[in-house]
């Protein structure tokens, strides 16, 4: 396993199970999370709080890495968020691009589509069930 993948997997586990302070510990103090669905989340503490609210809003949301590539100071992943909406499991899929500084996440740029009425998202007509990298969470 690569060093950045391990860091991101631990960060996803924290988002899934831990309090805001433990999520914030994965980020530089002035880190940013950019997303195509909402305004940037600025600062480690705000990011930790944001993910706790996401987890609570989506009734126990959990995040999982499907694919991962990395370079010297950056990485990218495709991920799946498993959540509940209207009592049913929904899978939202997206991609993140990471920049790191001194072993912490400095910036995340997230790309995914959010629809309040239909949380389940992914690539149109991609054969997720046939690709072993994308196993149900």
Question: Could you give the CA distance from residue 43 to residue 46 in angstroms, rounded to a whole number?
Answer: 5
Selection from 27, 19, 22 nearest residue 53 by Cα: 19
Mean pLDDT of all residues in the chain?
88
Give the pLDDT score at 116: 64
Q: What is the pTM of this model?
A: 0.85
> Rounded mean pLDDT of 3-30?
96
Per-residue pLDDT tens over the stretch 47-96: 999 999 988 888 878 999 999 999 988 999 999 989 887 788 888 889 99
What are the Cα distances from residue 85, in Å, to 46, 70, 124?
Answer: 25, 33, 20
β-sheet bridge partners, residue 100:
105
Mean per-residue pLDDT, 31-54: 94
Angstrom distances, CA of residue 37 to CA of 22, 34, 123: 24, 9, 16
User: What is the distance between the alpha carbons of residues 122 and 13, in angstroms, rounded to a whole number?
Assistant: 21
């Amino acid at each position: 396993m690569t060093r950045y993948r391990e860091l991101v997997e631990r960060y996803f586990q924290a988002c899934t199970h831990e309090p805001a302070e433990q999520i914030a510990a994965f980020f530089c103090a002035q880190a940013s999370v950019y997303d195509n669905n909402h305004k940037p989340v600025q600062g480690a503490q705000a990011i930790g709080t944001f993910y706790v609210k996401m987890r609570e809003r989506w009734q126990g949301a959990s995040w999982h890495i499907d694919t991962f590539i990395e370079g010297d100071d950056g990485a990218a992943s495709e991920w799946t968020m498993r959540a509940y909406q209207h009592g049913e499991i929904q899978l939202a899929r997206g991609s993140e691009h990471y920049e790191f500084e001194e072993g912490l996440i400095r910036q995340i740029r997230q790309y995914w589509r959010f629809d309040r009425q239909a949380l389940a998202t992914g690539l149109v007509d991609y054969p997720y069930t046939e690709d072993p990298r994308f196993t149900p969470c």
